[in-house]
Amino acid sequence: MGALACLLFVWFFGTRDLTTVPLANHDELRTLTHIFGPTISSPQPLQETVTSVATHSEQHGPLYFLLLNLWSRLVGSDLFLLRLLSAYFALLSLAAVYRFARLSRDGGLALAAMFIVSINSLFLFFSRELRMYTLLPLLVAWIVGCYWRLLETSERMTWWAWLSLAVSCGLILYVHYFGIFAIAAVGMYHLLFVPKNRRWVSVSFAFVGGGLLFLPWAPTVVKGFEGFSSKSISGMNAFESLLSLGHVYSNDFWILPLAALIIIVWHRKQLDEPQRFLLILTFLAIAVMLLANEIKPILIPKRLRYMLLLAPLLGGALAIAWNFLPRRAPVQFLLAAVWILSFFMYSQNENSYIASKRKSLESLYAPPFYTLVYHPSIEVRPTESVLSLHPSRKITWITGDYYQKLIKPSNLVHIYYDGGGRLTIQTTGQSISSLDEFVSRHAAFWLLYDPQETDERSMGDIFWWTRNYYRSCGKYLEETDAVVERYVRDSDPC
């Protein structure tokens, strides 16, 4: 029942804003161009997607984009349905975390790990993005689980067990190159703590096989690292990196990881072998990342999304400490309540906005175009235009290009005032130089704006102009964050 509650929580928070969060994100647009090409019309052949990633996003592997290409053939180009794939990966990641945390054969520990990961701001935010991040914890949990099961038994294992480890090691690199940190941590554990017997040699060959699977993409990796090395990035030092990881994985409840460390040290003699393995692996993974960051800055606040690969390990480590607490209902209930409360508080925190990229996305404006896509009573005809308003912010070409193709009006027109107070008109179709030219071209249009940011006080002259040349057919939608009206010329029927 608890596992189902975690899954439902992630599903609810991962999908509730899929329609209302507009496409105003360079990363998501780049994802769409890998799948649909520059025209964003129909899915490209899979080979074209691979070529696009290798040419324009060589610092990423192609696997997620290939999976999204196949997914788009089933669901189309609708943003809501495309984003669902990341939500599904988030649910599979939770299931993998539960399976991985059951290494110690303790259902309570596994459920605690699942609960900790599911109530995490960073994990939930990226469960709705058109990016590969929720695939990382899924594959990390799978790799670690496969590795431990091969070590813990002396019985003859099926070929599937060996193939599963090798393939998952190759696949995580095809998802994102940062997956190497998880493989390196497992490799260091294998080298330092495992007896050098025949099973050790067999597992080593499985790792080598996974590496060989990635060789075809190696030239692209080299090109990607060359581009990355040429960038000047101001990274965080080791202490700042640990502090940021602590904020992200404790929902800014900073005392939690400290208390967990104290509890684990206090009960260190009670740890079973799988728990010691998990804790050592967590330490090694963090140490490898910090060492890599000293060589070349990779950890910066707005890139903490890559650290989602640590979610199964850190979630499991925190769950071990949780498991040592008294199992009386009031204690467990109080801790769960504090964790949930910290999640909601951290979700609105400045640090959370930076870590999840929401801070940078605030500068990218998008009118509430989603209302024209998902509201059943609104149907924009191909001969009609869509006019959006804002007193001071322009829309990005990313947003305009996508919604022009999705809504398919004759033109998307956006009016705002630039820094000098000059009226500025943006379009996705034929350019328009003045309001008079708009009137001469468009007999009917849909007016769209956010009433919290745009009203007659801020753009009274535009509202006057609209009503002077057109008559309203009524408001089709009037909500706190979106108003949609339809206008036609005085001589035309609604």
CA angle 355, 17, 457 (to 5 degrees): 90
pLDDT tens-digit map of 357-399: 766 666 667 888 888 888 888 889 888 999 999 999 888 777 7
Residues 107 and 164 in one domain: yes
Residue 382 Cα to chain centre, angstroms: 33
Among 330, 360, 390, the domain-final residue is: 360
Residue 93: the pLDDT is: 94
188 and 335 in a common domain: yes
pLDDT for 305? 83
- Tens digit of pLDDT for each residue in 240-249? 778 888 888 8
- Evaluate whether residue 204 is within a structural domain: yes
- Pair (340, 435) in one structural domain: no
Residue 478, in any domain of the structure? yes
The whole-chain average pLDDT of the chain stands at 86
pLDDT of residue 413: 93
Provide Rg for the chain, Cα atoms. Answer: 26
Contact 258, 162 (CB under 8 A): no
Do 332 and 404 lie in a common domain?
A: no
The structure tokens listed for 150 are 């091969």
Statement to judge: residues 331 and 376 lie in one domain: no
Distance CA 362, CA 371 (A): 20
Task: Show the tokens assigned to 410.
Answer: 């004759």
The verdict on 328 and 380 lying in the same domain is no
Weakest-pLDDT range from 29-43, 56-70, 182-196, 343-357? 343-357
Q: What is the pTM of this model?
A: 0.85
Helices 179-193 and 159-175, packing angle to 10 deg: 140
pLDDT tens digits for range 417-466: 988 888 999 998 888 889 989 998 888 999 999 999 898 888 988 999 99
Please report whether residue 494 resides in a domain. Answer: no
Asked if 264 and 169 sit in the same domain, the reply is yes
Question: What is the predicted pLDDT for the residue at 233?
Answer: 60
Domain C-terminal end among 311, 333, 360: 360
Q: In terms of residue numbers, what domain contains 58?
A: 2-360
Say whether pLDDT at 181 is over 60.
yes
Verify that 203 and 69 share a domain, yes or no: yes
Q: How many CB atoms lie under 10 A from the CB of residue 475?
A: 11
Q: 61: part of which helix (H) or strand (E)?
A: none
Task: Note whether 148 and 226 are same-domain residues.
Answer: yes
β-pairing verdict for 444-449 and 423-427: unpaired
365 lies in some domain: no
Residues with Cβ within 8 Å of 276's Cβ and at least 6 positions away in sequence, in order, are none
pLDDT of residue 47: 93
Does residue 166 contact residue 209 with C-beta atoms inside 8 Å? yes
Q: What mean pLDDT do residues 336-350 have? A: 83
| Number of domains forming the structure of the chain | 2
Task: State which amino acid sits at residue 332.
Answer: Q
From 412, 367, 406, select the one nearest 386 (Cα to Cα): 412
Same-domain check for residues 142 and 186: yes
Q: Do 301 and 443 share a domain, yes or no?
A: no
Q: Which of 310, 335, 360 is the last residue of a domain?
A: 360
Let me know whether 283 and 414 are in one domain: no
